[in-house]
Structure 1
Amino acid sequence: MLALIGVLAILALTAAILSNRASPVAALILIPLAAAIAIGQGAQAPAMMVAGIGKIAPVAAMFVFAILFFGVMTDAGLLDPIVRRILKAVGRRPSRITVGTALLALIIHLDGSGAVCFLVAIPAMRPLYDTLGMDRRILACVASLAAGVNFLPWTGPTVRAASALHIPVLDIFKPMIGVQLAGLAFVFVVSWWLGKREEKRLGLVEAAADGAPTLDIPEHGAEPGLARPGLFWLNLALTLVAMGMLVAGVAPPAVVFMVAFAAALLINYPKVADQRARIDAHARSALLMASVLIAAGAFTGVMGGAGFLKAMADAAVANVHPDSGRHIPFVLSLLAMPLSMVFDPDSFYFGVLPVIAETHARLGGAPVQVAQAALVGQMTAGFPVSPLTPATFLVAGLAGVELSAHQKFAFPFLYGASLVMAVACLLLGLFPL
């Protein structure tokens, strides 16, 4: 009975979110509460919710202050000189332009926002593609590849995986640094190959590397006068120190970003009124995701505390051969990217992933492997072509291509990146052979 109600709760969560009948926050709060009442544990549900929220609080705090920190850095113009240098270097050779597109998208995506990445990178590079007559599908594809492979500790999928399974975010991310490097190598090789193919198609094999048209680079600052070009090197040093401390595990990620944000705010905007304005400017995006994470803590708290996850895992284990359990992470990694076309990130990471992780744990595996398997494709490499994310429509619209044309062209390359990272997980020992 517990397993059946648990499955119905997950199906209800998925249906409510995908059908737009309820926001993720409302569905994550009300559905587990209804499930707990159905099994007579309604009185215990509030305590379960609070316990679940307590477990994800550090991750939510990290996300909020990471968004604020990168928002301030962007407002201060940290990325502007880098963007201009890349645009100047690519010239008029398609193989350089495509690689430059990937590098630009990768750097812009450091703040963890796919929308910001595409809003900056695609309009900045599109004039070059149009001037030379290059296929705009390549622009959309290369930008999607760079953003999709760039899963960082503060990006949505990583944060969701850590929250859903109550695993420290660095325990998931640090072993995957080599995996991500393999994926990025694939991205740049594919970008270069697509550029070389365009050179041949356009008869530009001997194209000069200079003489590129003058391009209008989108301003990063939300309002005039926010840029602090004189503080570029200090801001860059602060960012590198923060990233180094994060990867080295010197302090908890939430603390690193809290301190880095406070320092960035004081350095770039000493006036209290300006500080408040910068916080207000980025509070909406931080609050939206933080509310989802807190609601997800309530969901997983009830699903675990009431015994739903254990019951569903027991039912799954009864139908899985014990020797097959160790292959669950690798199988999931092969399916993760296509699953982006079926599940939105909230319903997958908060509804489906905990059941898979519990099943894997009951068969002797480590839940962190399931989280890592999901990250090689589920709403990472998969998000720029998934019809369930606004980013897909944004990419196609900014690049000026039909949605179906973008999906057909980019899907094989994005899936290829996901498969490369899945194999890298095997070779690096993250998944058992």
Structure 2
Amino acid sequence: MLVVLGFLMIATFMGLIMTKRLTPLLALIIVPTVFGLFAGAGLGIGDMVMDSVKDMSSTAALLMFAIIYFGLMIDVGLFDKLVNLIVRATGHDPAKVVVGTMILTALVSLDGDGSTTYIVVTAAMLPVYQRLGLSPVVLTCIAGLTNGALNIVPWGGPTARAAAALHVEATDIFLPMLPSLAAGLVVIFVFAVLLGRSERRRLATADPARWGRGAAVGAGAPGTGTSRSNTPLLTGEGLTDTALDPNRESLRPRLFWFNLALTVAVMVLLVADVVPLPYLFMVASAIALVVNFPKMSDQGKMLASHSSSVIAVVSMVMAAAVLTGILSGTGMVEAMSKWLVEVIPSSMGPYMAVLTGLISIPATFFMSNDAFYFGILPVLTETGAHYGIPAVDMARASITGQPVHMQSPLVPAILLLVSLAGVQLGDHHKKVLWRALVVALVMLVVGVVVGAVGIG
């Protein structure tokens, strides 16, 4: 009975959010509550949920202050100079422009928000693509791949969800996966170089008179005879009304080096893992606010400007406590895992972590992260536990499918990217999907090789 209720609850939850009958937040609260009562939880359902809320509090704190910190860094202009530096460095060489797109995407992706990343990247790079005649599909491909790989950062959606669903620390999931992330980024870099060179050849073939010289040399805007010094950089109208509006009141150009040093220090401490991440971002956010906005009224205004993002993410984590608490408290997870143990051949048991990584690739493309991490991953993890595979290994394997997931039409950010770039989603998928699959598989294989994803 518990097995039937468990799978029916997951199916109902997934169905409601995939058909957009309910928002994930409401589905996380309502669906498990109803099924928990059917499972006989009674008045004890409240204790189940509150115990789960306590386990998720550190994850919620991490997300809250990481969003505030990186949001502030964008507000004060930390990334503006980096954008201009990349644009200057790429010149008019298609290969350099595409690689510059990857670097910029990687830098801005550190804020953990795909929509913001794509707004910044398209605002900075799309005019360059249009001026040089480069295909905007290349832009969406490289931006989508890079953001997908970096979507596994601790304050990003999947790692936070995996940590919340399995009650493990986000840093325990992420840090051992750094070699996998590095390998994924190397593969994306290779793709960027190859795509850039392909664009260079295409342009030279299509218009030899225009591209016979200068494209790789960066002599000036093609066909104009102008020098690079006369080519306008994207520091004015091209960025207006975007996250990099050069006239926004929050800019603090005199504090650029301080903000850069603070961010580098945060990244170093993050990797060193000497301070709990939630506390690290609490302190960093406080320092950033006090230094950049000394007036208390300005501090309140800046915090309020990021309140919608904070509420959306933190409320989701807290709501997830309802699903995970009831799923485990009623015994559904245990009953479902025992059933899966009987169904899955014993020969596959020791490879449950690898199998989870492979399942995550198509599963997270055809369903939301909420459905996979809160509905399916706990069941797979409980099954893996019977073969001695730690929950944290299952969590690490589960995030390797993110390069593919981020290309899904279920992800609003990718719809924003193709819309801003004027690209058809089908054209984007033709260019990006097989490359995303390669990146995901490389990340999974490297995870196994370095021991982050164990085999029982």
TM-score, normalised with respect to structure 1: 0.96
Q: Which of 209, 212, 216 is matched with 2:218 structurally?
A: 209
State the Cα deviation string for residues 309-341 of structure 1 (Å, max 9, x = none): 000001101122333112122122233222222
Q: Give 2:218's aligned amino acid.
A: A
CA contact (8 A) 2:119 2:243 kept: no
Query: What is the CA distance between 1:221 and its match in structure 2?
Result: 5.6
Alpha-carbon distance between aligned partners in 2 of 1:238 and 1:431, rounded to the nearest angstrom: 32
Within the candidate set 209, 218, 224, 2:248 is matched to 224
Distance of aligned partners of 1:266 and 1:221 in 2 relative to their CA distance in 1, 3 Å threshold:
farther
Q: Provide the C-alpha distance between the structure 1 equivalents of 2:264 and 2:291, rounded to a whole number of angstroms.
A: 16
Equivalent of residue 297 in structure 2, options 273, 287, 311: 273
1:97–1:2 CA distance, 2 compared to 1 (3 A) = same
Q: Which amino acid is 2:292 matched to?
A: N
Q: Cα gap change, 1:362/1:235 in structure 2, threshold over 3 Å: closer, same or farther?
A: same
Query: Residue 208 of structure 2 aligns with which residue?
Result: none
Q: Does the residue aligned with 2:343 lie in a helix, a strand or coil? A: coil
1:320-399 counterparts in 2 under 5 A? Answer: 320-377=344-401, 380-399=402-421
* Distance apart, 1:432 and its partner CA: 4.0
Partner of 1:252: 276
Deviations 1:181-239 (A, max 9, x none): 00000011100000011111111475222425424342646772211111111111111
Aligned equivalents of 2:219, 2:167: Cα separation in 1: 52
Corresponding residue number in structure 1 for 2:88:
88
Alignment-derived partner of residue 79 in structure 1: 79
Q: Whole-Å Cα distance in 1 between the matches of residues 127 and 73 of structure 2?
A: 26
User: How far apart are residue 168 of structure 1 and its match?
Assistant: 0.4
2:225 aligns to what? none
Q: Would you say how many aligned residue pairs link Structure 1 and Structure 2?
A: 431
Q: Offset at 1:165?
A: 0.6
Instruction: Tell me the distance in 2 between the aligned counterparts of 1:4 and 1:430.
Output: 33
Q: How does 1:173-188 map to 2 (within 5 A)?
A: 173-188=174-189
**Aligned mates of 2:32, 2:385 — CA distance in 1:** 22
CA RMSD between the two structures? 1.5
- Corresponding residue of 1:197: 198
Measure the CA separation in 1 of the matches of 2:202 and 2:407.
26
Q: Is the 8 A contact 1:80 1:220 kept in 2?
A: no
Q: Report % sequence identity.
A: 37
Return closer, same or farther for 1:16/1:298 CA change in 2, 3 Å cut-off: same
Between 263-272 and 17-26, report the one with greater CA deviation.
17-26
Please state how far the C-alpha of 1:65 moved relative to its aligned partner. Answer: 0.6
TM-score, normalised to structure 2's length? 0.92
Find the residue that maps to 1:376 and give its secondary structure. Answer: helix
- How far apart are the structure 2 equivalents of 1:54 and 1:306? 18
